[in-house]
A and B are shown apart, each in its own frame.
Chain A
Amino acid sequence: MAPFPEALRGPARGRPGDEPVVVFEGVRLAFDDNVVLDEISFKLYPGYTKIFIGASGSGKSTVLKLILGLLAPDAGKIWVHGRQIDRMTENELFAVRDHTGMVFQEGALFDSLTVGENVGFKLYEETDMPLADVRTRVEEVLGFVELGPYIDRRPSELSGGQRRRVAIARAMAFKPKLLLYDEPTTGLDPITALTVDAEIIKLRDIEGVTSIIVTHQLRDAFYIATHGAGRAPEGHAIVSATPEKVEEADFVMLRDGKIVFEGSADELRASTDPYIRAFLS
């Protein structure tokens, strides 16, 4: 596999010596005549967060599918975990996907399986982990999203918010280094949305997971960008993030297939661009 080119090891952000987890370089993708992404470039460093915002249909979900290799770009290069994936075959991609978890927009839970089988799917099907250990891990992550008692239910017997949390549990169960969230809080009430935000923050700050979040919900986006989780005597506590920590979350705005804004929460708030202002209001 092509090694990561030295020139792209940008100093701009990221801790010294860290190699980016995801790099897009001039990525272009069109469905027939509909150009969805045009010359998209960005880098994401370990432990950092990228938050993609933009109108419906602007290509946010498509970016996540490219990172997983579910779609291939028409042009441009994509590196994930230091490996160039844009020309990989499906079989080669499976090795890269082992370190990436994805929470799909509608959950995409397997409705023929129970909650526990969904969460443990990868561990049951694709690893040699003993069944008892898988069960322990499944109970552990279901506890993390506070759905322990639901382990033997079917996804169809859960509410929308519960399904979303099961999807998060499934994505994190195999301890990926990178988690992709597609609209994790859309359609949830504000209180449930905050618990989902808290899970995302906890995974990032306690497990050290690199995150990409796609969302329309600016309130949740800002909350995730400006809060952190720390170990507290009674479990984990969500606190306001330090200014340095806030800098580790980047907002990326997509419009008509191009990146029209990239910067921190404060920079986004301070933007005078009329389109961004309209989007924020």
Chain B
Amino acid sequence: MAAFTEWLKRALLEIQEYTTLAMATARCAVTRPFYWHDFVEQLDAIGIGSMTVVILTGLFTGAVLALQTGFTLDQFGARPFVGRLVSASMIKELGPVLTALMLAGRVSSGIAAELGSMVVTEQVSALRALGTDPVRKLVVPRVLAGILMTPILTVVANTVGLLGGWVVSVQNLNVASGLYWSSVVDGLFLEDVWMGLLKPFFLGFIIVTVGCHVGLRTRGGTQGVGRATTNAVVAASVGVIAMDFFSTQLLLELLF
């Protein structure tokens, strides 16, 4: 029981610190100074750096969706509708979530490791000593870059996912190319497209803020950095799934 209260206290403290950081980030993002150079650097590190991973994930996800649904649809003699299922699942749900999970693995861990080693080698203290706010210099550029790049990467994943589905539909399922694409378009409703485009903003926010939070509260030398990296991936992945649920709920209410 005592252990449970202790755990609960630590969890609440963690959430409180996370909220404080998120609010400080929001405040710093809208006031000067803004470190443009770091922002551009992060756009490159988060956006371009994650491109390969996201393309591969999207491609294979679209392909496997086509394979699986093609097989199921056959039982109803509805194979030509495969494009519809690929686009609906990819754009509404799988594209955003899988992209975000890949980014949780790549970006959250990278940020936690980088900021964590800066904390344990006192570089963060040195920043403060030199008159630079670590939230402005380190957190804001990363968060803004993450919020901006996650939707873009999601669109990339969706696009190659549809291509992957197309390759499988044409090659393995013998669906005509034109039929596949018209079915893809049929499967898309405007609300779904909005949903698929808006969700990644929330997910990107979670991915980066969790990485920053875990990194900045690293304690205990290089060992602590290792721990922080692992924790960041786990927390960001869970955060992505949870945020996916809540943002879907919110967007369903707003859009439909």
Q: State the A residues within 8 Å of B (CB).
A: 65, 68, 70, 90, 94, 97-98, 100-102, 104-106, 108-111, 121-122, 125-126, 170
Contact = CB atoms under 8 A, between A and B. Distances in A.
A121 B125 contact: no
Contact of B122 (A108, A122, A126): A108
A270 B127 CA distance: 41
A110 B128 contact: no
Contact of A70 (B35, B123, B125, B132): B125
Given A108-B123, A110-B123, A70 B128 contact: yes
A61 to B, nearest CB: 10
Contacts of A110: 123, 126-127
Interface string B29-69: 00001010000000000000000000000000000000000
Contacts of A125: 35, 130, 132, 137
Contacts of B126: 102, 104, 108-110
Contact of A104 (B33, B125, B131, B133): B125
Given A68-B128, A97-B129, A104-B122, 8 more contacts: A70-B128, A106-B121, A106-B122, A111-B121, A121-B130, A122-B132, A125-B35, A126-B131
Interface in B103-138: 121-123, 125-133, 137
A102 B127 CA distance: 11
Nearest to B35: A125
The 4 A-B residue pairs with the shortest CB-CB distance, nearest first, are A108-B126, A108-B122, A122-B130, A102-B129
Nearest to B137: A125
> Among A101, A102, A109, A125, which residue has the most Cβ atoms of chain B within 10 A?
A125
Nearest to A70: B125
Nearest to B124: A108
B99 to A, nearest CB: 27
Contacts of B132: 121-122, 125-126
B87 to A, nearest CB: 42
Contact of A98 (B131, B133, B137): B131
Contacts of A104: 122, 125-126, 129
Interface residues of B, number: 15
A150 B53 CA distance: 38
A70 B133 CA distance: 12
B125 A108 contact: yes
A46 to B, nearest CB: 20
Contacts of B128: 68, 70, 90, 97
Contacts of B129: 68, 70, 97, 100-102, 104
A109 B127 CA distance: 10
Contacts of A109: 123, 126
B34 to A, nearest CB: 11
Nearest to A93: B128
A108 B35 contact: no
B255 to A, nearest CB: 40
A109 B130 CA distance: 12
A110 B121 CA distance: 9
Contacts of B131: 94, 97-98, 122, 126
A20 B66 CA distance: 76
A68 B125 CA distance: 10
> Among B33, B35, B121, B122, which residue has the most Cβ atoms of chain A within 10 A?
B122
A131 B183 CA distance: 58
A90 B131 CA distance: 10
30 contacts: A68-B129, A70-B125, A70-B129, A90-B128, A97-B128, A97-B129, A97-B131, A100-B129, A102-B126, A102-B129, A104-B126, A105-B122, A106-B121, A106-B122, A108-B122, A108-B126, A109-B123, A110-B123, A110-B126, A110-B127, A111-B121, A121-B130, A121-B132, A122-B130, A122-B132, A125-B35, A125-B132, A125-B137, A126-B33, A126-B131
A65 B129 CA distance: 9
B130 A126 contact: yes
Nearest to B127: A110
A42 B133 CA distance: 29
Contacts of B127: 110
A112 to B, nearest CB: 8
Contacts of A90: 128, 133
Nearest to A61: B122
Nearest to B118: A110
A207 to B, nearest CB: 19
B130 A65 contact: no
Contacts of B137: 125
A94 B129 CA distance: 8
A104 B123 CA distance: 9
